[in-house]
Amino acid sequence: MTRLGISQLSDVVLGEGQRRHAAVRERIVAAARRAERDPSEITLVGVAKKQPHERTLAAIAAGLRVLGQSYIQEARETRPEIESVLAADPATENLQLEWRMVGRLQRNKAALAARLFDAIESVDRPALVETLARRADSEGRRLGILLQVSLCGEPQKGGCEPDALPALARRVLEHPGLRLDGFMTLPAGNPDPEAARPVFRRLREIRDEMQANLPQLESAALSMGMSGDFEVAIEEGATLVRVGTALFGERIVPH
């Protein structure tokens, strides 16, 4: 990629980034108002997997500050590239971004994940908790953790079973290098966003049940909803929405 600062991106790229970001933000605001919620409670996570860096930079220029990645190797290449471009432009050299891992994480990639990300949204088993805790300690970091809960009946999506969640949460809370930030879920694939509503509602109920027993979860986040259903997720209590295509356009997949 040519190391151009944000201010040197083409007007077309910047304009498209601004348009898409504004459209997503408008949808977030409208959904929050329908649910009688404050839109500022909802954080937009731009999932930039398989996207050209120019699109990511254009979204940052439009106001995006939280980036999600699904693949460790892509994040390993993308984060330093994006940050070097920002640092090279006086207008953005002090800009601080948050990076979140939103895809499934293998234990053998935990060391790299603990170095690359500020938070991991897909923690679903005790062995992964222990590995991340060791790696966070060795990196001298406090790593944000969201526990992924399986609610859609599709094991390939990952996630712990609801009845295993309390023990998993307590395990995270045992480690000073980990910070239990909340919960995440993925609904089954369905073109109808309303089909995801029961899953989103159930995660909110689980969060509320967990808060009653663990005061450390008083401000627990709910990460749920993607491009096709994030408005329903917001209506059901989402505080983080993971948006890719609606924000960046269709992914560019190399042939």
Helix/strand/coil for 219: coil
Angle (CA) 27 71 99, round 5°: 55
Question: CA-to-CA distance for 223 and 220, rounded, in angstroms?
Answer: 10
In DSSP notation, 18-61 reads HHHHHHHHHHHHHHHHHTT--GGG-EEEEE-TT--HHHHHHHHH
**pLDDT tens digit string along 184-195?**
999 998 999 999
**pLDDT band, very low/low/confident/very high, at 2 (cuts 50, 70, 90):** very low
Q: With contact defined as beta carbons under 8 Å apart, do 168 and 200 qualify? A: no
Question: CA-to-CA distance for 33 and 251, rounded, in angstroms?
Answer: 30
Site of tokens 């201010």: 7
**pLDDT band, very low/low/confident/very high, at 255 (cuts 50, 70, 90):** very low
**pLDDT tens digit string along 6-16?**
878 999 999 99
Q: What is the pLDDT of residue 66?
A: 98
Q: Is the whole-model pTM more than 0.85?
A: yes
Would you list the domain boundaries of the chain?
10-245
Superfamily of domain 10-245: Alanine racemase (3.20.20.10)
Average pLDDT across the chain, whole number: 94
List, in sequence order, every residue forming a beta bridge with 183; answer none if it has no partner.
147, 222
